[in-house]
Structure 1
Amino acid sequence: MKKITLFLEGKAIDKQLEIFVADTFFTRFKGLLGTRLLPEHEGLLLRGCNSVHMLGMRYALDIVYLDSTGTIVKLVENLRPWQISFCRQAQDTLEVNCGTVRSAGWKIGDRLELHN
C-alpha cells in the first residue's frame, strides 16, 4: 500500500501521522480486518469508498468521510466492532484511531489535503 501525508488547510496536522492508501478492490476489501490494533500514528484511506463495516473488527475507529475535493462531509467517532456506517455524498473514507477526530479538532467542512 502507498503512504501519504495528511494536511489540513495547507498546514501539517501531525508529522507522525502515516496514512496508507487502499485503492484497489482487494486492499479496500481487506482494510484493517485481521489487525489487532491500529497504531496511533497511522490511518487508512479507502479510495472510492463511502461505507464502512466493522464486522470482524476487534477495536473501534473514528471514521472521516470525504467528498471529491477532500472536504469532510461526515464524521463518525468511536464506530465500534459489528457496526456499519455510510455516507452517500462521500468519495473516500479515512479510518483513524478513536480520539483522533477530537484531538485534531476536525469538523465538517474542513478540507484535508493528501500529498505523496
Structure 2
Amino acid sequence: MTAPDRPRFGPGPARLLVDGRDVAALAVADTRASRNRGLLGTSAVDGALWITKCPTVHMVGMRYPIDVAVLDRRGRVLKVATLRPWTGMTWPRLRASVTVEAAAGSMEAWQVRRGSVLEVG
C-alpha cells in the first residue's frame, strides 16, 4: 500500500477546546490498542487525536510531520512541538499525562502555547 492509498485519520466525534474555544474535531485514544496505534498507518490527520496516559510519543513508522502538545492531568500545555517522520520524539516530562497530536501547523493556527488549557468537548 503506497502512502496515497493510506487512510486519513479522523475526524473524531468529540471536539478539541483550547482555552474554552472550539477549534477542531477530536478523536480520543483511551484504550491500550488505540493508544499504541495512534496515527500509524495513516497519510494525514483531520482534526486532532487526544491520547490518554501518554506522556511521550515517537515518530518511528510515521510518514508525515505532526504537531504535538504534551499536557498535564488538568489539560495545561507543558510543551508544544512539531515532530518529523522517523526522527522526532518527545522526551518524558514531569507531570506529563496526555499528548494531543494534529497536522503540522495546527497548534500555531489554534494558538496552542505553553500554559494553554486543552479540553475534550
Name the TM tier (shorter chain). 0.7 to 0.9
% same residue: 35
- Once superposed, which parts of structure 1, at least 4 consecutive aligned residues long, lie more than 3 Å away? none
Which one of 37, 53, 56 corresponds to residue 51 of structure 1?
Answer: 56
Deviations 1:2-50 (A, max 9, x none): 73212222232x2xx21101011110101111111113xx111110101
Q: Name the structure where strand makes up a greater proportion of residues.
A: 1
Does the aligned pair in 1 maintain the 2:68–2:100 contact within 8 Å?
A: yes
Aligned to 2:108: 102
The alpha carbon displacement at 1:102 in A equals 1.2
Aligned to 2:6: none
Deviations 1:44-84 (A, max 9, x none): 1110101111111110000000100000011112x011122
Return 5+ residue gaps in structure 2 as ranges. 1-9
1:1-116 correspondence to structure 2 within 5 Å:
3-12=13-22, 14=23, 17-39=24-46, 42-77=47-82, 79-82=83-86, 83-88=88-93, 89-115=95-121
Return 5+ residue gaps in structure 1 as ranges. none
Does the aligned pair in 2 maintain the 1:45–1:92 contact within 8 Å?
A: yes
TM-score by length of 2: 0.82
TM-score by length of 1: 0.86
